[in-house]
Structure 1
Amino acid sequence: MADDSTTIELSRSELREVARFAEACARPALVIFERDRPDDRRPRTAIDAARAFADGAERTKAIRDGAWGAFRAAQEARDAGRAAASDAARAAVAAASAAFLHPLAKATQVKHILGSAAHAARAFELCAGDDPDVGADHIARSRTLASPVVVDVLRRYPAAPPGGGRAGELLRRLDASLR
């Protein structure tokens, strides 16, 4: 297992594959956010930027700007008492952030790989009356989306960190199932 001082080799094609996975995990939750906030396109912009990178676009400031916009949308939804919409927007943040996975062997980097799946799963749980089976179903679907490249990249990092509430639990469940 790598420690915090280890640098991890990551190719551009591997980063694109991680971003493709993160985007695919986050996109289904957009419906939750957009149903609640139909005029707010920030999470969609972030997810679309992740997809563009996965499809060959360069890593640009636009991806980071999309992630920050989705982050602000998540905060606004949270502050308005719309927890499911907030987690759906956080899934979009994680999808865009996947393009900027750091090559340092830190457990926190696992969030860049699996955070979109975990937050989308939490959003679906909340929409279903906080039903943990619904979240587990999304985690199981996300697991099937992880290509061998994504799993290989994940295994270069330490296990997911503790904390993060229910989304953190879902992240650790997916992490353990992929290793």
Structure 2
Amino acid sequence: MAAGTIELSMAELREVAGYAAACAHPALAIFERARPDDPRPRAAIDAARVFAEGARRTKAIRDSAWAAQRAYQETRDAGQAAASEAARAAVAAASAAFLHPLAKATQVLHILGPAAHAALAIELDTGDPQSGLDHLETARGLAGPVVVSVLTRYPHAPSGRGRAGELTRLLDASLRPR
């Protein structure tokens, strides 16, 4: 194995994608309330879930992530902050299927980004930071041993990235053994 890389099996990628989809899913209601006729974030989360359940990892998953990215940009530009973060959670969920075996902190965003962006969407929707922290606690409970094992092969989550980054680091710290 090359220096700076880690081992990742397809089974582990499926576990991570399933976790990502489960963490992103609660924020879908926020997006769909703002954009009821826009199926892109749901399609991205569904693509991650279907991969996690055994489907092949195909370009269709990547395409669904790019489509959800456009939904994120459109809601962001329209000033729909909670909906845009919900779409970002969906983008991150679909992207989890393509977690790279590179020992870089940014790869942690593929694992924990769906939960962090969903938590931020929930915070923005409710106006209550505790609601986002509650979602992180739920995400912590959803992380099985395989997800934690994969996470701990990577460096800690990177600094920066605003509130979503802060939420990512909180979840990261709560999942790693002390």
Q: Specify the TM-score bucket, using the shorter chain as the normaliser.
A: over 0.9
2:94 matched residue in structure 1: 96
1:154 matched residue in structure 2: 151
Give the secondary-structure state (helix, strand or coil) at the position aligned to 1:52: helix
1:97-156 per-residue CA deviation (whole Å, 9 max, x = no partner) reads 000000000000000000000000000000111x21111000000000000000000000
State the shift of 1:78 in Å. Answer: 0.4
1:66 matched residue in structure 2: 64
2:9 matched residue in structure 1: 11
Name the % identity: 75
Provide structure 1 residue ranges, at least 5 long, that are not aligned to the other structure: none
State the shift of 1:157 in Å. Answer: 0.1
1:21 matched residue in structure 2: 19
Aligned length: 174
Distance 1:7 1:28 in 2: 32
* Alignment match of 1:49 (pick from 39, 47, 50): 47
Aligned partner letter, 1:117: A
Distance 2:134 2:25 in 1: 15
1:141 aligns with 2:167: no
Provide structure 2 residue ranges, at least 5 long, that are not aligned to the other structure: none
After the TM superposition, which parts of structure 1 deviate over 4 Å for at least 4 consecutive aligned residues? none
1:176 aligns with 2:173: yes
Trace 1:74-93 onto structure 2 (pairs within 5 A).
74-93=72-91
Distance 1:173 1:30 in 2: 22
State the TM-score, normalized to the length of structure 2.
Answer: 0.97
1:108 matched residue in structure 2: 106
State the shift of 1:6 in Å. Answer: 1.3
1:11-51 per-residue CA deviation (whole Å, 9 max, x = no partner) reads 00000000000000001110000000000000001000000
Distance 1:20 1:28 in 2: 14
Distance 2:93 2:111 in 1: 8
State the TM-score, normalized to the length of structure 1.
Answer: 0.96
Distance 1:112 1:71 in 2: 14
1:132 matched residue in structure 2: 129
Give the secondary-structure state (helix, strand or coil) at the position aligned to 2:122: helix
Aligned partner letter, 2:144: S
Aligned partner letter, 2:168: L
Distance 2:96 2:47 in 1: 11
